[in-house]
Amino acid sequence: MQSFLKKARQSQWYGVGLLALIAVVIWAVFKIGAPATFGAPDKLLSYLQTALIYAIGGCGMYFICVMGLFDFSIGSILIVAELSAIALIPQLGWISVIVVPILVGVVLGLCNGIAYIKMHIPSIIVTTGLSLIYESFSVWIADVNGTRLDDAYKLFGSYPWNLIVALAAFALCYFILNYTKIGTYTNAIGANELVAKNMGVNVDKYKAIAFTLCGTFMGIMSILYLGYGTAQTPQTGMLSQALNFPPLMGTFFGLAFKKYGHPVVSILIGEYIVAMIFAGFVALGMPTTVNNIVTGATLLAIVTLTTKRRNGAVVK
């Protein structure tokens, strides 16, 4: 039995299997507690719908976090991308819904990368400052064509199109991580930046690319997020920060199970687990504010379990 468990732990699918088992256990616990309001097939599909949205953003954040960096502007990028799509619908139609959010994400992600490289200060500070700027942009953009998506353009808010877009995003992330220099070098930089630099890796270049990819995936996420929510109000005073954490939880699941070689799948299952926990507490009659407790506790637990402490470490 022990030899079997040892071999299982060495399997590249051990992490995915463990996450799947955790998901089943959580489903069973809440199903027993609230059999009438939790865990029915249609409910499971709704949980998946939420998980797909945040998992796309989690894939983007993975490129950043695997190198020990953080991007605290992703919530504001999401808002600007959505409002930009709404603003240009009268002129561009479906192009505005599909292409504009991605372009906005690419541009703002690149701006984050350039700012981080040129300023030589921690990524948290850079992206928090830029977040305030992007929030101001959102207020101006909202005045162009309002904040609500027209009913004719809600296609990506439900099955099957949300699933198609999400699978395409996951496939893109998987391809980049496993079959390109970007994936190889981002992992190398995360493992040991000094060694990667000594091997000839242009660290600043690939950090900028990682920020750009993060923005790109946030743009893709905004397509589904807007279709699902159908409206987005501008945020100021760092209120957009609340949107940072749902995708980040999936990213931390991906980091925690990275050693098994399937971070994209881990991100998706992790987001599904969190979505079930949220729905489970609501089914039990808990106030929706418990979501904040779950979010904070999950983040702290995952970071605690996955962080390698080093004396004298400095936040990047």
Residue 311 lies in a domain: no
How far apart are alpha carbons 107 and 99 in whole angstroms? 12
Q: What is the CATH number of the domain that holds 287?
A: 1.10.3470.10
- Average the pLDDT over 248-272 and give the result: 89
CA dist 37 to 41, 138, 276, 294, Å?
A: 11, 37, 12, 20
Residue 146 lies in a domain: yes
**Whether 74 contacts 57, CB under 8 Å:** yes
pLDDT in tens, 305-316: 655 555 444 446
Residue 6 lies in a domain: no
Checking if the pLDDT of 287 tops 80, the result is: no
**Whether 251 contacts 141, CB under 8 Å:** no
Residue 59 lies in a domain: yes
Which pTM was predicted?
0.90
Checking if the pLDDT of 288 tops 90, the result is: no
Q: How many residues does the structure list for the chain?
A: 316
User: What's the pLDDT band for 152 if we cut at 50, 70, 90?
Assistant: confident
Checking if the pLDDT of 290 tops 60, the result is: yes
pLDDT in tens, 159-217: 999 999 999 999 999 999 999 999 999 999 988 899 999 988 999 999 999 999 999 99
Count of the separate structural domains present in the chain: 1
To the nearest 10°, the Cα dihedral for 109, 114, 117, 119? -110
Residue 268 lies in a domain: yes
Burial environment of residue 108 by CB neighbours within 10 A (0 to 12, 13 to 18, 19 or more) = buried
How far apart are alpha carbons 157 and 223 in whole angstroms? 8
Show the domain range for 283.
Answer: 42-305
Residue 2 lies in a domain: no
Residue 78 lies in a domain: yes
Residue 52 lies in a domain: yes
pLDDT in tens, 120-149: 899 999 999 999 999 999 999 999 988 898
